[in-house]
Amino acid sequence: DGRTSHALFYPPANPEARGPEGEHPPLVVMIHGGPTSAARNVLALGKQFWTSRGFAVVDVNYGGSTGYGRPYRDLLQGRWGIVDVEDAVAAADHLAVEGHVDPDHLAIRGGSAGGYTTLAALCFHQVFKAGASHYGVADLSALAADTHKFESRYLDGLVGRYPEDKATYDQRSPINHTD
């Protein structure tokens, strides 16, 4: 929708290995947990694993991530499962259009809240060929009904009030859109 989002891009980096001539590398889109946390530009062996094996990596700081000011973090309010997914898709599309990665070899991965974004991207968009959700949220209603006390009202701001907005929870839950 024209907004700016942020990401950290890591091209493949292995001086002893190169992909086939004339081909672009596959891409792994990484989604941080949180969901209002952020990816940081620090040593991360998980990213190095992929880049040393010929994959490009993009670590997406979608709207709602911390570190870019309150208006940016507030983009996720009421729109978890929308803004984060759109920004992950846009990052992959942008890198493919710019010729940095192969558009036919795009994967996405994340854990916890990032796993939810991964599942939502796979269910609601046709961009990614593969994904890995590590302990991700598949059912927002189940999370709202059975979360720990510390986060018991956290989803009110990210999705809507539960159970009043249960229809929104169900609409955005990947478990309800699998085949």
pLDDT digits (tens, 9 = 90+) for 98-144: 999 999 999 999 999 999 999 999 999 999 999 999 999 999 999 99
| Average pLDDT estimate for 70-99 | 97
Give 152's pLDDT tier (boundaries 50, 70, 90): low
Compute the distance between CA of residue 28 and CA of residue 50 in angstroms, rounded to an integer.
8
- What is residue 178's predicted lDDT score, i.e. its pLDDT? 87
Per residue in 19-70, pLDDT (tens digit) is 888 999 999 999 999 899 999 999 999 999 999 999 999 999 999 999 999 9
- What is residue 54's predicted lDDT score, i.e. its pLDDT? 93
- What is residue 179's predicted lDDT score, i.e. its pLDDT? 77
- What is residue 145's predicted lDDT score, i.e. its pLDDT? 87
